[in-house]
A and B are shown apart, each in its own frame.
Chain A
Amino acid sequence: MTTTSIRMPRRIFPTTVVKHPVLFGIVRHTLLVCLLVVLLYPLLWMVAASFRPNNEIFNGLGLFTGNFTLDNYVNGWGAGQLGFSQYFLNSFLVTALSIVGNLISCSLTAYAFARLEFPFKRTLFAILLGTMLLPYHVTLVPQYILFNELDWINTYLPLVVPKFLGTEAFFIFLMVQFIRTLPRELDESARLDGAGHFGIFARIIMPLALPAIGTTAMFTFIASWNDFLGPLLYVNRADLQTVPLALQTFLDSTGENAFGELFAMSTLSLAPIVGFFIVSQRLLIEGIATTGMK
């Protein structure tokens, strides 16, 4: 019954309100497609250009002009001091460690806020929310000084350790909200079976919180993969560069004459995100819609 009462108006709405539903539909689809073409054309063009010889890159607007070549990929892959295979490995390493760190620290913290009672809980939760709004620049300089004192420059520790210490308050908040929707009766029955808090956390809450964990993992992946400022500050050595940093150096050192290689490597650098997105777009979009994560 409830489904019909929700669906009915939706069906009535277009017919009673729109005088020419078919025409309206055509106009709407046309508008949307035009907008998408404008929006996505630069991306398509970049992919197409990455398969073009360098002297034909600037042959105007078309996608398929001139000759097809893989040279840009071959030359680009070997660009820089160590080549992009190294940069991609570095990026994957930093990203994987960031994901693991965020998942561990954020889920532990979220469990405490969602399920446990302790002194100053409300105050601490308010502080947690406050850190979400804090511009990261205010900690940037002292953190740099700290990591410099610790001799962590030119290691991945400054990029990864903060993730293990729950500095991404947003994900904690997201998981708190999610865990609070899980019925407490499950905890109770686990407790009757003799489980302690770690047992309840690991065996009951975490498996049920998989959607929140998945959302956190994906957004951490994208943010770490795209992160530019972190590596820019902390990684100067060529063999430690991540992909964004390598692309930037590439852009600076080669200028306009190696656009083909730049586009080839740019395309490759976006590929994991796009691939990930194709696999998980539903979960990602639901995540955005319900949490406001951007």
Chain B
Amino acid sequence: MTERLAPGIMADAPGRRWSRGTKNAAKRREAGVAALFLTPWMLGLVLLTLGPMLYSLYLAFTDYDLLSPPRWVGLDNFTAMASDPRFLASAGVTFAYVAVSVPLLLVISMLVALLLNTKMRFLTGYRALFYLPSLLGASVAIAALWRQVFGDEGLLNAALAIFGIEHGSWVGDPSTALGTIVVLSVWAFGSTMIIFLAGLRQVPSELYEAAAVDGAGRIRRFFSITVPMLTPLIFFNALMGTINAFQAFTGAYVISGGTGGPVNSTLFYTLYLYQRGFAQLDMGYASAMAWLLVLVLAVFTALFFWSARYWVFYGDK
């Protein structure tokens, strides 16, 4: 199961290489049928993905406001970013968010998965309840609730008041606003946890038995067996978590009322892209930002795959 999830997927492409030499009628007919089956997807790929990608690459080097035709400006959009305080703030906010939320998400989901990884009462119930927030976490309703929970008279402050601690609004304070969105993302750790739990189930228990016979303690067994056996899933969850975190939007939009405030503290990269592109109709700048995001994600993905050979362990290879 793990190989299905993890980096091997590219090598896993179905089918054999199409051979040019065998041009018989049956093959050609099959290709014709395939073309029919593939028509919707191919249309989407060309019209909604590849075409737009090329167009946005072109727009990245233009000044375009939807009303007058695009005007070629070369690298101006990119050089403008370097001296755009809001852009720099948004990059900073996003990196901070990724750096804090992804590791937190991994650690918490791993810990809860470990707690759930034995035969125990109410297992399915626990699993379902821990998973529920990940279905709701992306909704506007939860983001709106979050604004209350971390607001002035919110739940958190009511809870802190019991201990005599007083604090103003958490979403209104630039030093804590980003933290509330981190908490929102970590709150939805359930789906990551389920993947870890499925992986833990695959670890052969003979390994633990053998290690126990050899006198390895709980902690030793965790680091020498569990962690190595889970590295393909840690890899998968870390990569997907990072890609998702770079694209976070709804929470920041709703909690800050679309502004990215207070003082740009929740101005996520995608939120700023949205503001430039769709509020200010600065389509060229937004496209340049989008392509920069593609580059950054490509670099991160490449780093992940490159580093994988040093720390991801495949039992069967």
Chain A interface residues toward B at CB < 8 A: 6, 9-14, 16-17, 25, 28-29, 31-32, 35-36, 39-43, 45-46, 58, 60-61, 104-105, 108-109, 111-114, 116-122, 124-129, 131, 133-146, 148, 162, 164-167, 172, 176-177, 180, 196-197, 201, 222-223, 225-226, 228-229, 232-233, 243-245, 247-248, 251-252, 259, 262-263, 265-267, 269-270, 273-274, 277, 281-282, 284-285, 288-294
Which chain A residues lie closer than 8 Å to B4 at the CB level? 177, 290-291
Which chain B residues lie closer than 8 Å to A143 at the CB level? 48, 52
- The docked-state distance in angstroms from the alpha carbon of A14 to that of B212 is 11
Among B296-312, those with CB < 8 Å from A are: 297, 301
Decide: A135 near B15, CB < 8 A? Known: A141-B277, A251-B254: no
Which chain B residues lie closer than 8 Å to A263 at the CB level? 145
Q: By the criterion CB–CB under 8 Å, are B187 and A251 in contact?
A: no
Q: By the criterion CB–CB under 8 Å, are B293 and A137 in contact?
A: yes
- The docked-state distance in angstroms from the alpha carbon of A45 to that of B18 is 59
- The docked-state distance in angstroms from the alpha carbon of A226 to that of B141 is 9
Which chain B residues lie closer than 8 Å to A229 at the CB level? 249-250, 274
A-B contact pairs, 18 of them (CB 8 A): A32-B115, A32-B126, A105-B41, A108-B38, A121-B14, A127-B45, A135-B293, A141-B287, A146-B48, A166-B41, A166-B45, A226-B139, A228-B249, A247-B144, A259-B148, A266-B142, A266-B145, A270-B142
Q: Does B227 contact A (CB under 8 A)?
A: no
Which A-B residue pairs are the 6 nearest by beta carbons? Answer: A165-B44, A142-B52, A266-B141, A289-B198, A9-B205, A166-B41
Chain B interface residues toward A at CB < 8 A: 1, 4-5, 9-10, 13-18, 27, 30-31, 33-35, 37-38, 40-41, 43-45, 47-49, 51-53, 55-56, 59, 66, 112, 115-116, 118-122, 124, 126-136, 138-142, 144-149, 153, 155, 158-159, 161-162, 187, 191-192, 194-195, 197-198, 205-206, 208-209, 212, 218, 236, 240, 243-244, 246-247, 249-250, 253-254, 257-258, 270, 273-274, 277-278, 283, 286-287, 289-291, 293-294, 297, 301
Centre residue among B34, B115, B270, B274 by max chain A CB count within 10 A: B34
**Which of A43, A245, A251 interacts with B144 by CB under 8 Å?**
A251
Q: By the criterion CB–CB under 8 Å, are B141 and A269 in contact?
A: yes
- The docked-state distance in angstroms from the alpha carbon of A125 to that of B244 is 22
Q: By the criterion CB–CB under 8 Å, are B14 and A176 in contact?
A: yes
Given contact pairs A134-B294, A165-B41, enumerate 15 new A-B contacts (beta carbons under 8 Å).
A9-B209, A35-B112, A61-B158, A61-B162, A105-B41, A112-B37, A118-B38, A146-B52, A196-B33, A226-B138, A266-B141, A266-B144, A288-B131, A290-B4, A290-B198
Decide: A28 near B47, CB < 8 A? Known: A42-B145, A113-B14: no
Decide: A270 near B141, CB < 8 A? Known: A10-B205, A113-B14, A135-B294: yes
Of all chain A residues, which has the CB nearest B187? Answer: A39
**Which of A25, A124, A137, A172 interacts with B290 by CB under 8 Å?**
A137
Question: Within the complex, what minimum Cβ distance (angstroms) separates B189 from chain A?
Answer: 9
Which chain A residues lie closer than 8 Å to B59 at the CB level? 141-142
- The docked-state distance in angstroms from the alpha carbon of A232 to that of B55 is 22
Q: By the criterion CB–CB under 8 Å, are B48 and A167 in contact?
A: yes
Decide: A294 near B192, CB < 8 A? Known: A140-B290, A247-B141, A289-B198: yes
- The docked-state distance in angstroms from the alpha carbon of A14 to that of B297 is 43
Decide: A165 near B47, CB < 8 A? Known: A142-B59, A229-B250: yes
Which chain B residues lie closer than 8 Å to A251 at the CB level? 140, 144, 147, 254, 257
Centre residue among B40, B128, B243 by max chain A CB count within 10 A: B40
Q: By the criterion CB–CB under 8 Å, are B13 and A117 in contact?
A: no
Of all chain A residues, which has the CB nearest B218? Answer: A17
Which chain A residues lie closer than 8 Å to B112 at the CB level? 32, 35
Q: By the criterion CB–CB under 8 Å, are B140 and A228 in contact?
A: yes
Of all chain B residues, which has the CB nearest A289? Answer: B198
Centre residue among B51, B134, B205 by max chain A CB count within 10 A: B205
Q: By the criterion CB–CB under 8 Å, are A142 and B56 in contact?
A: yes
